[in-house]
Amino acid sequence: MIKVQKNDFDVNLEIKNITSLNKNIGGTSLFIGNVRKDNNSNLKSMTLEHYPIMTEKQLEKINNEAKNRWNLIDSLIIHRYGKLYPGDQIVLVATFSKHRTDALNACEFLIDWLKTKAPFWKLEESNAGSNWVKEKRSDLDAVNKW
């Protein structure tokens, strides 16, 4: 399932909604991304812009790709947009399988993919002004390994 939303999410509730319906799930792998404020940073907030409809379409596509590559019982991607603050949750990737390897690998694949191929853009805001976050070489390398 794909959810692109402004509101925060409750990880426990989201996971239980799926595990309670599928008693054959043996392992769940989770990735939760938060707005990070480094110790020497003056970050106040981060605004996530996205391309509505394209975001959902691209997330659906990659979610299906993960289901083709690994033996998943279910998978869930929640990605927030709008103005967020340090510590806030940005993204949840959860993958559910009978055995751990499928869930672990699919989860890593999905978050690696999201970093460079989901149509989101991050604007960091501080007292000094605002600037758009640039693509990272390490994120490109991470997605290329799949």
Partner 1 sequence: MQIKYFSWVKDQIGLESENITITEKINSVNDLINHLKNKNEQYEKAFEDISVIRCAVNMEVTNLDKKISDNDEIAFFPPMTGG
Residues that bind partner 1 (CB under 8 A): 33, 49, 51, 53-54, 57-58, 79, 90-91, 111, 114-123, 132-135
* Shorter beta-carbon distance to partner 1: residue 22 or 41: 41
Query: What's the closest the beta carbon of residue 71 comes to partner 1, in angstroms?
Result: 24
The minimum distance between CB 99 and partner 1, in angstroms, equals 26
Using the minimum distance from each CB to partner 1, give the nearer residue, 101 or 130. Answer: 130
- Considering beta carbons, is residue 20 or 138 the nearer one to partner 1? 138
Query: What phi and psi, each to the nearest 5 degrees, are found at residue 31?
Result: -130, 130
Task: Give 23 or 137: the residue with its C-beta nearer to partner 1.
Answer: 137
CB-CB contact of 10 with 17 (8 Å) = no
Find the shortest distance in angstroms from Cβ 27 to partner 1. 22
CB of 95 vs partner 1, minimal distance in Å? 15
Cβ-based nearer residue to partner 1, 19 or 123: 123
Measured from the CB of residue 22, what is the shortest distance to partner 1 in angstroms? 26
Q: What is the DSSP string of the chain?
A: -EEEESS---HHHHHHHHHTT-TT--EEEEEEEE----TT--EEEEEEEE-TTHHHHHHHHHHHHHHHHS-EEEEEEEEE-EEE-TT-EEEEEEEEESSHHHHHHHHHHHHHHHHHHSSEEEEEEETTEEEEPPPPHHHHHHHHT-
